[in-house]
Amino acid sequence: MKPADVLKMSKEKGAQILDIKFMDFPGLWQHFSVPIHELSESNFEDGYGFDGSSIRGWRSIHESDMLVVPDPSTVIMDPFCDIPTLSMVGNILDPVSKERYSRDPRNIAQKAEAYLRYTGIADAAYFGSEAEFFIFDDIRFDQREHCAYYFIDSIEGRWNSGRDEKPNLGYKPRFKEGYFPVPPADAFQNLRSEMVAIMEQCGLHIEAHHHEVATAGQMEIDIKYNTLTRTADSLMLYKYICKNTARRHGRTVTFMPKPIFGDNGSGMHTHQSLWKGEKPLFAGDKYAGLSEMALHYIGGLLKHAPAIVAFAAPTTNSYKRLVPGYEAPVNLAYSRRNRSAAIRIPMYSPSPKAKRIEFRPPDPSCNPYLAYSAMLMAGLDGIENRMDPGEPLDKDIYGLSPKELRKVPSLPGSLEESLQALEKDHAFLLKGDVFTEDVIRTWIEYKMEKEVEPQRFRPTPFEFSLYFDI
């Protein structure tokens, strides 16, 4: 869609407000709004000014002025605004140089796609993510000098099987048995269908939705794959729609990877493939119907996985999911069908067009623009350097003997370890100026200062149960 088409749509839909959304550094959508009369074709070049120093991980106060330029190809009518509101995703520019801002995550994703084309390896990288989430009825948490707690509740929570609900009707999925039950055990069929209807109204192509493994309302809605930046745009819209639809019904949604102790966490298995013109480049006559290029791409992902997860599993909570068991792919291996491997080759369809690889460590707390870009750059490094992924592992990794398991490398066990891996291994990200040293340094410093270090100093409720009577 061109700027003139946006203006025409605005008039046809009776829009009164323009809302511009953009990504902060850690991975949350931000926005601001202007009356629709403030939108003209010139704004698609000149943008709108705002204070960049107030955005997490961005400019310091002495260089705070920034521009956001709406991308007309992202236009929708916001489905949650009472006043008709036109919504677009924006790109961030420096107001002096008019260059794209190097810390804008969407800019990094677009540079990754440009680098792919520059290499001549492929024209497009397609990504498709399976982002899981929880729907809760109540969430309370606090952290003070003298106390700390969190409390989660859900009508589906197995822990409520004995609660007096006047009446309690049962139908609360057992721990780790929430996968695919029909209603009434699946209490959220209608809510998910409403989410899907709104997503499709906003232009997303939805393939399926269902209850996930955990009790207490774990869900999954699958978006059809698209190019890297478009899939990241779609994932942010997906999260926005899930959260706001739940809020309409007095419920809340979280994409936190591990909110419930003792049950499955929420992952974001990410399918990837490269294409040149109409040709799928990952289909071939090697293992699991893969091409040699696909195996080299896997080799790059496996080699750089400890650094990749600094972006793809970017919270301290992520590593409460990435532990053995709970279908968590902590061991760095690849396999067809085997879901205990970090990389799986889906075997649902024999069509070459369906041939892809699935990288399983990411979770939905990530900034998708950065996470997808890091995965693509790792895969391209594998192709460019013809990295051997080693032998596939078709056994259940969790059934291996300790001797066999020692031969399989594993992911970092904490966010701090993944940040250390990124510090040591990020040259592959700098190719084509996709990531910059400033972006890498800022990411590491931000995560250490705002997330890792503050956790060190805080006692937890479980520590009291372990140590109070010492």
61 confidence band (pLDDT: 50, 70, 90): low
Where in 247-286 does DSSP place strands (E)?
Answer: 252-254, 268-276, 279-280
Mean pLDDT of 369-376: 98
Active site residue 358: yes
Residue 165 annotated among the catalytic residues of the structure: no
Does position 231 have pLDDT exceeding 60, yes or no?
yes
Interatomic CA distance for residues 137 and 249, integer angstroms: 10
The yes-or-no verdict on residue 88 having pLDDT over 60 is yes
**Contact in structure between 258 and 252 (CB atoms under 8 Å):** no
- The reported pLDDT for the residue numbered 348 is 83
Query: What span, in angstroms and rounded, lies between the C-alpha atoms of 447 and 415?
Result: 8
Q: What is the pLDDT of residue 400?
A: 76
The answer to whether 300 and 378 have CB atoms below 8 angstroms apart is yes
- DSSP-derived secondary structure letter, 452: I
Please report which confidence band the pLDDT of residue 395 belongs to, taking 50, 70 and 90 as the band edges.
Answer: confident
Rg (alpha carbons) of the chain, rounded to whole number: 23
Q: What was the pLDDT predicted at 325? A: 57
Kindly tell me if the per-residue pLDDT of 111 is higher than 70: yes
Dist CA 470 CA 468 (whole Å)? 6
Q: What number is the average pLDDT over the span 30-52?
A: 95
Which position among 248, 339, 386, 441 bears the catalytic label? 339
Q: Which of 59, 192, 360, 426 is catalytic?
A: 360
Residue 63 has pLDDT above 70, yes or no: no
Q: How confident is the model at residue 9 (pLDDT cuts 50, 70, 90)?
A: very high
What is the DSSP annotation of 98-150?
-PBPTT-HHHHHHHHHHHHHHHTS-SEEEEEEEEEEEEESEEEEEE-SS-EEE
* Better-predicted residue by pLDDT, 58 or 9: 9
- Catalytic-residue membership of 386: no
Contact 171, 157 (CB under 8 A): no
DSSP state of 74: G
On the question of pLDDT at 406 being above 90, the answer is: no
Kindly tell me if the per-residue pLDDT of 462 is higher than 80: yes
**Marked catalytic residue, from 5, 38, 45, 51:** 51
Q: Structure tokens of 221?
A: 């809605």
Cβ neighbours of residue 352 closer than 8 Å, sequence gap 6 or more: 280, 283, 289
Supply the pLDDT for residue 429.
Answer: 98
Q: What is the pLDDT of residues 269-328, one digit of tens each?
A: 999 999 999 999 999 999 999 999 999 999 999 999 999 999 999 999 999 999 875 567
Q: What is the mean pLDDT of the chain?
A: 94
Active-site residue (options: 158, 269, 356, 426): 269
**pLDDT tens-digit readout, 444-456:** 999 999 999 999 9
What pLDDT does 326 receive? 56
Cβ atoms of residues 163 and 137 within 8 Å: no
Residue 417 to residue 124: CA distance in whole angstroms: 32
- CB burial class (10 A; 0-12, 13-18, 19+) of residue 466? exposed
Q: Check if 51 is active-site.
A: yes
pLDDT for residue 340: 76
**pLDDT tens digit sequence for 316-362:** 999 999 987 556 788 899 998 777 789 999 988 889 999 999 999 99
Mean per-residue pLDDT, 187-213: 97
**Would you state the pLDDT for residue 396?**
74
Q: Which residue among 19, 71, 212, 363 is the active-site one?
A: 212
Evaluate if residue 42 carries a pLDDT over 70.
Answer: yes
The verdict on whether 38 is a catalytic residue reads no
In the annotation, is 337 catalytic? no
Kindly tell me if the per-residue pLDDT of 110 is higher than 90.
Answer: yes
Indicate the DSSP class of residue 296: H
Distance separating alpha carbons of residues 20 and 36, to the nearest angstrom: 11
Q: What is the mean pLDDT of residues 176-190?
A: 96
Distance from C-alpha of 80 to C-alpha of 87, rounded to nearest angstrom: 11
Q: Among residues 19, 71, 130, 233, which one is catalytic?
A: 130
Q: Phi first, then psi: what are they for 55, rounded to 5°?
A: -95, 135
> What pLDDT does 449 receive?
97
- The verdict on whether 153 is a catalytic residue reads no
What value, to the nearest 5°, has the Cα angle with vertex 26 and ends 25 and 30?
A: 65
**pLDDT over 80 (residue 62):** no
Task: Supply the pLDDT for residue 444.
Answer: 98
- Which of 14-23, 51-60, 293-302 is predicted least confidently? 51-60
> Is 156 designated active site?
no
The pLDDT value recorded for residue 405 is: 77
Any catalytic annotation for residue 269? Answer: yes
Q: Residue 182: which pLDDT band, with cuts at 50, 70 and 90?
A: very high
Amino acid symbol at 95: P
pLDDT of residue 117: 98
Q: Which of 19, 71, 113, 132 is catalytic?
A: 132
Cβ atoms of 238 and 221 closer than 8 Å = yes
